[in-house]
Amino acid sequence: MTPELIPIQDASIYIVPQIRLPLEAEEVLRRLIAETPWRAESIVLWGKKYLQPRLIAWFADTGIRYTYSRTRLDPIPWTDLLNEIRQEVERIAKTSFNSVLVNYYRNQHDSMGMHSDDEPELGSNPVIASLSVGEPRIFLLKHRVRKELKTIRIKLNSASLLVMQGNTQENWRHGIPKERRPCGPRVNLTFRHIARRHIAD
């Protein structure tokens, strides 16, 4: 399916509304929820420890370490399902990925705060490819400095692939807000490439 360019200043973002998956999206969702060794990570806010409002798992090629939101993650080896999805995502994004962070939003109360994917191990101008399966959720984008630019809201439907590249992370933050309406589960897979100098021996 053809990519739709999202016209945003100081960024380069496109969406492929429905990518080809190895199984029906509902089955991918069901299997990922059932078979992933989910972790509840904690975050420290104003000196107090909280559980992050979502579950995560991190898969990567062997030997890769990644620090995400100040949490050091040890990777799980790729499953066949994730590897097949990776191949299709690499074909579309025209780049290779050696890791995927999987986020599980169980219901409307789960969310991800506004952030940029700008950890040093991602290098400059990273390509981040983000696949959504399950309940559609709103993806917010806010410019980091140009407050006159409106917040952008993009609905991410099941089986859609959002690709952020170029100077997007440098200029914009993104996140998934909580919802007021009841929401079913959503799993999001963000494929990333971790720079070689950060790969442990």
Residues lying near ligand AKG in the complex (CB under 6 A): 101, 103, 112, 117, 130, 139, 156, 174, 176, 188, 190
Among ligand AKG, Mn ion, none, partner that 160 touches (CB below 5 to 8 angstroms by kind): none
Rounded-to-integer distance, Cα 179 and Cα 12, Å: 27
Q: Which two tokens stand for residue 145?
A: 């400095």
Residue 93 Cβ vs Mn ion, minimum distance, rounded to whole Å = 15
Among Mn ion, ligand AKG, none, partner that 101 touches (CB below 5 to 8 angstroms by kind): ligand AKG
**CA atoms lying within 13 Å on the CB side of residue 44:** 3
Q: Which two tokens stand for residue 122?
A: 């991602």
Among ligand AKG, Mn ion, none, partner that 100 touches (CB below 5 to 8 angstroms by kind): none
Tell me whether residue 12 or residue 22 sits nearer to Mn ion (CB atom).
Answer: 12
Tell me whether residue 28 or residue 189 sits nearer to Mn ion (CB atom).
Answer: 189
Tell me whether residue 90 or residue 118 sits nearer to ligand AKG (CB atom).
Answer: 118
Rounded-to-integer distance, Cα 123 and Cα 170, Å: 11
Site for Mn ion, rule CB under 5 A? 117
